[in-house]
Structure 1
């Protein structure tokens, strides 16, 4: 069960290609047939699709609403036709809170999306911004799953290093910290927040970050903070996926930090080149220190608990041969 897989509607292919070029990344290509072929090769039963690029320019909220609706309706049709192979996290046009609320309601109620996706910063505004509180309250009331996908942070990127390699996990870490300092995970405990790529640098440095609880800036008027232990507990409220992150240093750090039931498999297809993705799959499967049943939970069981609909369809023939995923 792949909670981190992307869709590129034909109408958005040029925009995604341009975005990839701008951040120094290979241009991804996507179509339904290639996605299913990839899943068959890699023993993935179901992939939850999301659109993980900016929807429009910062000064065009109307366009962002239109693109979000178009992308979500395209993806919902894919799921309708192949509910056994695809799920759907709906795109929301932040920082337009009213637009995001309207699109979340439409996607969850009318399109039957399995959750929503937001970028780690909305044109420079991080997700702990108080202006976004109405959205979190609504998603919490719905017990929604929210994929917090990284994007490029504000400012100058690391020179000569493609943004997805360094700046994206950095931005995941920044927004998770901002949300935690602002008390979002603590206030909205029914909302399930998923951090891609093993949470960026969060598991490795969590105990360092927890010292923010001892600083005056670590408290807000509506959430007065607590101890470093409380801060760690709040960081552990996130879910974490394994996309692009099953390396020999990252995986032990994630497993040492995250609760076992909060780690999920992710492929990041088609954004990660195929040979890279299969290499990380192999590293995940061959990690020598799995406790009994835990690899199965990461590969499938935890996602079925997070999104029960994913477990209602029969497995693929490839999965019968390799039942872990």
Structure 2
């Protein structure tokens, strides 16, 4: 089938939901509840929205709920292996419709490296899903350099996803963190990746920034201006213009137009955020995006030379082929 590629779609398993609840995340990031998910409903939503394929990932709070203790690391490794194997089985059953952005049990470095080997070597994952911070440690942290080195070696596609920032208990003012904090944590993370030199040190990693760039389009030139004032010049707008951006969340009526002042149309990808954005709201947004004049030069379909085809060649190659519906192992 023809249609959009959704690079910001999520999945949950019963075991994952139970683990979140047991760890105190039954109201994830201050939201009312974790949503229900199953592949049949996901496919029905995709068909209604005109989505050819969805790259599935685990959303915040991720898979590591504890501290750096051995017990917490072991539990995170087990949960990461579970959700990744489950996701790979979904891909096996629906090769043309689902892709997998595998989860890593960070901040456990050794566990993350082992899971990265499993994701690429055994599961043939399409991407890796990273959170903006792990227990308050951002991706530029030198401790994470072995993981970023491995991602660079694989020329990995990384789907970035926000999570609650350190200190959210004070900054969120008792409001759900996805309302405001997610956008600022994405912005903080990506600006730090640029200013710390992390983007330059790992040039083969292909980053997908969520939510129409969060607050990056508004702040990029201000950050560059302050860098000049403080004697540390940084061409931040150019660096950010080379990243990819999904359109999950609320790109209309304002954010999309602003994003296009920072990144060209060939850096845009569609994102639904389903099921954390319920199907009716996601369908409404998809309809509005299809009608938006700002996307007339963007290619969100899985067609030759589209951004989606370049980043996700396996899914592009599967389009138009009979779907393999083998039962998961």
Could you tell me which residue of structure 1 aligns to residue 135 of structure 2? 123
1:312 maps to 2:317: yes
Report the TM-score, using the length of structure 1 for normalisation: 0.88
2:159 corresponding residue in structure 1: 147
Task: Supply the distance in 2 between the matched residues of 1:275 and 1:253 (Cα, whole angstroms).
Answer: 26
**Paired position in structure 2 for 1:82:** 94
Please provide the CA RMSD for this pair.
1.9
Change (3 A) 1:93 1:83: same
Q: Which residue of 2 aligns with 1:21?
A: 27
Task: Measure the CA separation in 2 of the matches of 1:95 and 1:30.
Answer: 27
Q: Which residue of the partner structure matches residue 106 of structure 2?
A: 94
Pick from 7, 11, 15: which aligns with 1:7? 11
Q: What is the SS of the residue equivalent to 1:45?
A: strand
- The partner residue of 1:106 within 118, 139, 162 is 118
Residues 126 and 57 of structure 1: is their aligned pair in 2 closer, same or farther, counting only changes over 3 Å? same
Distance 2:250 2:287 in 1: 12
Structure-2 separation of matches of 1:83 and 1:145: 18
SS of structure 2 residue aligned to 1:94? coil
The structural deviation recorded for 1:123 is: 0.6
Per-residue Cα deviation, 1:206-226 (whole angstroms, up to 9, x for no partner):
1012235336695xxxxxxxx
Q: Deviation at 1:235?
A: 2.0
User: May I ask how many residue pairs the two structures share in their alignment?
Assistant: 304
C-alpha distance in 2 between matches for 1:249 and 1:115: 29
Distance 1:215 1:97 in 2: 37
- Three-state SS of the structure 2 residue aligned to 1:249 is helix
Cα-to-partner distance string for 1:133-186 (whole Å, 9 max, x where unaligned): 111111111111011110011112422431111111111111111111111111
Q: Which residue of structure 1 lines up, in the alignment, with residue 62 of structure 2?
A: 54
Partner of 1:298: 300
SS of corresponding position for 2:55: strand
Partner Cα distance (1:202, 1:103) in 2? 31
**Are the aligned partners of 1:170 and 1:200 in contact in 2 as well (CA < 8 Å)?**
yes
Give how far 1:116 is off. 0.5
Structure 2 stretches lacking a partner, 5+ long = 322-329
What is the CA–CA distance in structure 2 between the aligned matches of 1:255 and 1:25, rounded to whole Å?
30
How many angstroms does 1:315 deviate by?
A: 5.0
- Conservation of the 8 A alpha-carbon contact between 1:172 and 1:200: yes
The 1:31/1:16 distance shift into structure 2, 3 A limit, reads farther
Structure 2 matches for 1:261-280, cutoff 5 A?
261-280=266-285
Contact 1:8 1:16 in 2 (8 A): no
1:85 shift after superposition: 0.8
d(CA) in 2 for partners of 1:169, 1:32: 28
SS state at 1:208 partner: helix
> What's the TM-score, normalizing by structure 2?
0.87
Cα distance, 1:250 vs structure 2: 0.5
Q: Confirm or deny that 1:176 pairs with 2:190.
A: yes
Distance 1:136 1:217, change over 3 A: farther
Contact 1:124/1:154 (<8 A) preserved: yes
Distance in 2 of aligned mates of 1:299 and 1:16 = 34
> d(CA) in 2 for partners of 1:216 and 1:132?
28
Pair 299,250 (structure 1): closer, same or farther in 2 beyond 3 Å: farther
Residue among 219, 222, 225 paired with 1:208: 222
Q: Secondary structure of the equivalent of 1:298?
A: coil
- Tell me if structure 2 keeps the 8 A contact 1:117–1:148: yes
- Flag the 1:164–1:217 CA change in 2: closer, same or farther, 3 A: farther
Tell me, yes or no, if the aligned pair for 1:91 and 1:118 is still in contact at 8 Å: yes
Contact 1:45 1:315 in 2 (8 A): no
